[in-house]
């Protein structure tokens, strides 16, 4: 039986999140008003509050959703292979993630300071869990002698920063294909840890 009371909530909700993600990534959370988001969605500002209790919750929800998706996608990857194979897997996974959802990756490290303390703590935990995945790979490879990594913690930060940097310049229409980019970065990552 068809709904008699018309509702767009099942489509407007995602549109609100999409618009917020895009605008936050482009202009920054603090610089974007609820009226701008509403205009992008095609509703009045008041209608947004059917989908989020406030602006801060909207930001948090986007970041939390992204981190959950990222961790779930990594968990879903096959976990076979030695440390070198796992490092290649992580490298390619992180670059593909960066390229697939650039706005989400971007706001996830640009808008942390605009989270209220409790929200910040949640996202920082998830980020830490993600970085731990790489750190464990480097640590296990260092123990078996597969890698030459004197300080796995620092090496983790260095590799993550290098890979996330793809975000700042990669364009789909660019000179290099995604697999070429992956190959170049994997070559550098592998060599940087003496693998």
Residues that bind its own copies (CB under 8 A): 26-31, 110, 113-114, 148, 150-151, 154-155, 157-162, 164-166, 168-169, 176, 181, 184-185, 187-189, 191-194
| Closer to DNA by Cβ: residue 42 or 194 | 42
168 interface partner picked from DNA, its own copies, none, CB below 5 to 8 A per type: its own copies
For residue 130, the number of C-alpha atoms closer than 13 Å in the C-beta half-sphere is 27
Q: How far is the CB of 149 from its own copies (least distance, A)?
A: 9
61 interface partner picked from its own copies, DNA, none, CB below 5 to 8 A per type: none
Q: Contacts for 125-134 with beta carbons within 8 Å, 24 or more apart?
A: 126/64, 126/67, 126/68, 126/71, 127/67, 129/71, 130/67, 130/70, 130/71, 130/74, 131/156, 131/157, 131/160, 133/74, 133/90, 134/90, 134/159, 134/160
| Closer to its own copies by Cβ: residue 16 or 23 | 23
Q: How far is the CB of 33 from DNA (least distance, A)?
A: 3
């Amino acid at each position: 039986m068809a709904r008699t009371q018309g509702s767009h909530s099942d489509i407007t909700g995602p549109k609100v999140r999409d618009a917020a993600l895009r605008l936050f990534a482009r202009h920054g959370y603090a610089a974007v008003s609820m009226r701008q988001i509403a205009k992008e969605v095609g509703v009045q500002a008041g209608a947004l509050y059917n989908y989020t209790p406030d602006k801060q919750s909207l930001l948090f929800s986007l970041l939390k959703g992204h981190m959950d998706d990222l961790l779930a996608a990594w968990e879903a990857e096959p976990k076979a292979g030695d440390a070198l194979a796992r490092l290649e897997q992580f490298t390619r996974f992180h670059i593909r993630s960066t390229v697939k959802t650039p706005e989400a990756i971007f706001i996830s490290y640009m808008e942390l300071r605009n989270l209220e303390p409790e929200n910040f703590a949640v996202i920082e935990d998830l980020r830490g869990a993600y970085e731990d995945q790489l750190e464990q790979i480097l640590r296990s490879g260092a123990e078996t002698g597969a890698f030459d990594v004197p300080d796995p913690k620092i090496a983790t930060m260095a590799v993550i920063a290098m890979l996330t940097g793809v975000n700042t310049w990669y364009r789909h229409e660019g000179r290099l294909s995604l697999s070429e980019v992956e190959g170049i970065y994997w070559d550098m990552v592998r060599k940087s840890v003496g693998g």
